[in-house]
Amino acid sequence: MRPERDGKETARRHEILRKLKKLYPDAECALYFCNAYELLIATILSAQSTDKTVNEVTPALFAKYPAPRELAQADLAELEGLIHATGFFRAKARNLLGCAQVLVTQHRGEVPQTMAELTALPGVGRKTANVVLGNAFGKNEGIVVDTHVQRLSQRLGFTKQTQPEKIEQDLVRWVPQKDWTVFSHRLILHGRQVCAARKPKCEACALTRKCPASLV
């Protein structure tokens, strides 16, 4: 890439970041939670499900299992029934039970605050760990790459990668670290409200002029 084109590309990406910040200044996590434990459990449940469904399920779940110690002793069949609506409930129930047991036996019932410790928990990958670190502990250690973030980062020309971890590596080069957590929320909101997977509303999008995938 020639220097002048590189300069234009840098300006284009910075303008997209500026516009996203203006469009969604108060973007935040859509999952309901009161503490790190609740966010961890809700994020595990959100895999292959919607935030809306998870938010409908978790009040009863947390009323019965308000902390890791209670969840670690849960009856598996009863737990499956409580989370059935989120899909893949058998695998998720096993992960929740195993995760709670590790929290109790290895972390004194507390959610750890490092990437390595979090990703060692059953059912917890890098995406879930980033959600917890950024939203429960205010630690910007990475960028959450879900389906919305993946789709929009590709359409907006921030990456050509298809694997979440490689997409994250591209994104962190452009997004200031202090914005890593909120950047994901902004892309998710824009993906839900404007840049849908099947029918993006390019004609109503404030990013159209800067988007290489624009249909306008």
Chunked into runs of 10 residues, the chain (216 residues) has average pLDDT values of: 68 98 97 98 97 98 98 98 98 98 98 98 98 98 97 98 97 97 98 96 97 95
Answer whether 155's CB lies under 8 Å from 213's CB. yes
Neighbours of 105 (CB within 10 A): 11
For position 4, what pLDDT does the model report?
A: 43
What pLDDT sits at residue 3?
A: 41
- Work out the number of other CB atoms within 10 angstroms of the CB of residue 28: 12
Predicted local confidence at residue 2, as pLDDT: 44
Considering 127, 139, 178, 210, which one is annotated as catalytic?
A: 127
SS3 content of the chain, % helix, strand, coil (to 5): 65, 0, 35
Respond yes or no: is residue 146 known to be catalytic. yes
User: Which is the catalytic residue, given 146, 160, 170, 178?
Assistant: 146
Instruction: Determine the pLDDT at residue 5.
Output: 52
Domains (range + CATH), the chain: 3-27+143-210 (1.10.1670.10), 36-136 (1.10.340.30)
188-195 long-range Cβ contacts below 8 angstroms, 24+ apart: 188/27, 188/30, 188/146, 188/148, 188/149, 189/24, 189/27, 190/20, 190/23, 190/24, 190/148, 190/152, 191/148, 191/149, 191/151, 191/152, 192/148, 195/151, 195/152, 195/155
Active site (annotated) includes residue 51:
no
Predicted local confidence at residue 15, as pLDDT: 98
